[in-house]
Structure 1
Amino acid sequence: MSFEGKVVIITGASSGIGAQTTKDFAKLSAKVVLVGRNAENLKAIAEECGSADNVLSIQADMNDENDVKKIIDETINKFNQIDVLVNSAGVIEVGTIENTSMEQYDRVMNTNMRSIYHISMLAVPHLIKTQGNIVNISSVNGIRSFAGVLSYNISKAAVDQFTRCTALELAPKNVRVNSVNPGVIITNIHKRGGMNDEAYAAFLERSKTTHPLGRPGTVNEVSEVITFLASDKASFITGASIPIDGGRHATCLR
């Protein structure tokens, strides 16, 4: 599998799944565009991805419309094309219908869904030219319901619906759109969402019983499916939401 001559944009590339996915695409000879908020992390990951000729690092806030437009403009200015868009930027907030504030709701929906809509809309004209594709990072929470993370659940269900709708709309133009739906993956997203070290350790321990395969997943296990979906090996797959969750979506455990 090779992405020689292909240009791949990865949002949320400064940490977690996005960071690993960026490195994997670079290993597969892609020209990578790293997008994230943490400039120091972006620099470190960019240095692992090869020469400056094949790497573009963009510090951006996905909730800033001018920043989103900048991502597309700078990519075209440097590489003249876009072949793959990986929408990996995301946040999680804890809360139920009784205590999730509108500020929390807006923050989650704006980052997890509105920004995906915006950058995809801007990237599509370029993806049509290259007959490229989009891979959205959703969640097992988009497939089934979990208590206590209401706004996050809603945002990921929206990502899955967005994936299916845009896949249908763009199929006649040979642009594929798919999503991956990770279960618990060892990253920093839950800590950024408010979990302390003790709570996160307990969360990972419980994942051994809630995931039929008996453990949480790794970023590599997600990134390898992302690169597959973006490749020509997945040329007849579009509109799919693929669980990467150790069977979590199939259980009745809460």
Structure 2
Amino acid sequence: MFADEGASVAVVDIDASAARETADRILELGGQAIPVQADVAQEADVERAIHTAVQRFGRLDILFNNAGVILPKAMEDVQVEEWDRLMNINARGVFLFMKYALPHLRKTRGKIINMGSMTGLAGQKRNVVYSATKGAVIAMTRSAAVDLAPEGIRVNAICPAGVLTPLLERWFAQHPNPVRVRESQDKSHLLGRTALPEEIASVAVFLASDESSFITGQAIQVEGGATIGYGVGPKAEWGADETAHEFLDHHTRFGEAGGAV
């Protein structure tokens, strides 16, 4: 969607083939893009990714931090190594990219968009680690906005709930009852459905544009009303704690398999 608006895009992914695939799609549609393989939790990789983008395109106007992983578990079942992994990817990665992008964004009075989550605002059952990482992202966003406003750099976060990505589709498919779990996911949002990726991306494009020129330091909730009562709808619909636990247990197993958001 950024490419549709004329942006040249550096596609950063830990999976080199995924980065190449996305960049190729942009090129096929007439846009400008390069793939960059990098681990967002590794300082040297982040510094190299920023350098590569600036070297190729000559400037940096927009930073969109969108990497993340999830591991839903009860607090007492979380291993310290799992805590560290989520913190390193979801929070440390955001910090590192802001740190190394900042010298270039100062030259362009650029914009930073960070991917938060409604769980960082409202919390979520069996998701204490992920919620903590997203709370950290939201806090970093607000503090960075305070620091950088005098330099004309705006910093905002997007906080979605469920988003109908290919990853979520795979999650549905792995469940013993895919139809039921999908319906329950939809009903956990007040609007009765799960967001499309384009509905999140369009907000990112808006926050990167001059149309949002007086918005900074905000955690924009794009979650279909889910934070008003996330998870209440499905439990009431199923009418049995056993079914709700089945949903959560499968969600946990999916996260343990490396599910990302």
TM-score normalised by the chain length of structure 1: 0.85
Equivalence for 1:247: 225
Q: 1:196 to 1:107 in 2, by over 3 A?
A: farther
Residue of 136, 143, 150 corresponding to 1:172: 150
Equivalence for 2:105: 127
Shift of 1:122: 0.8
Residue of 159, 166, 169 corresponding to 2:137: 159
Equivalence for 1:229: 207
- Match of 2:77, SS state, is coil
Q: Which runs of 4+ in 1 moved over 6 A?
A: none
Equivalence for 1:42: 19
User: Which blocks of at least 5 consecutive residues in structure 2 are unaligned?
Assistant: 233-261
Q: 1:170 to 1:145 in 2, by over 3 A?
A: same
Matched residues, percent identical? 33
**Greater helix proportion:** 2
Equivalence for 2:175: 198
- 8 Å CA contact retained: 2:20, 2:34: no
Structure exhibiting the larger radius of gyration computed from Cα positions: 2
Equivalence for 2:259: none
- Match of 1:57, SS state, is strand
Shift of 1:39: 2.0
Shift of 1:88: 0.1
Number of aligned residue pairs = 230
Q: 1:232 to 1:40 in 2, by over 3 A?
A: same
Q: Which moved more, 1:105-114 or 1:47-56?
A: 47-56
Q: Distance in 1 between matches of 2:165 and 2:172?
A: 12
- 8 Å CA contact retained: 2:3, 2:31: no
Shift of 1:200: 8.5
Shift of 1:196: 6.6
Shift of 1:144: 0.2
Q: Distance in 1 between matches of 2:230 and 2:32?
A: 45
Q: Distance in 1 between matches of 2:209 and 2:149?
A: 16
Shift of 1:76: 1.8
Equivalence for 2:235: none
Equivalence for 1:75: 53
Q: 1:188 to 1:110 in 2, by over 3 A?
A: farther
Equivalence for 1:102: 80
Q: Distance in 1 between matches of 2:110 and 2:58?
A: 14
- 8 Å CA contact retained: 1:26, 1:50: no
Shift of 1:207: 2.0
User: Cα RMSD (Å) of the superposition?
Assistant: 2.1
1:59 maps onto 2:46 in alignment: no
Shift of 1:252: 6.1
User: Which blocks of at least 5 consecutive residues in structure 1 are unaligned?
Assistant: 1-23
Instruction: Map Cα deviations across residues 147-192 of structure 1 (whole Å, 9 max, x no partner).
Output: 1111000000111111100001100000000010011111245689
Q: Distance in 2 between matches of 1:69 and 1:249?
A: 36
Equivalence for 2:6: 29
- 8 Å CA contact retained: 1:30, 1:54: yes
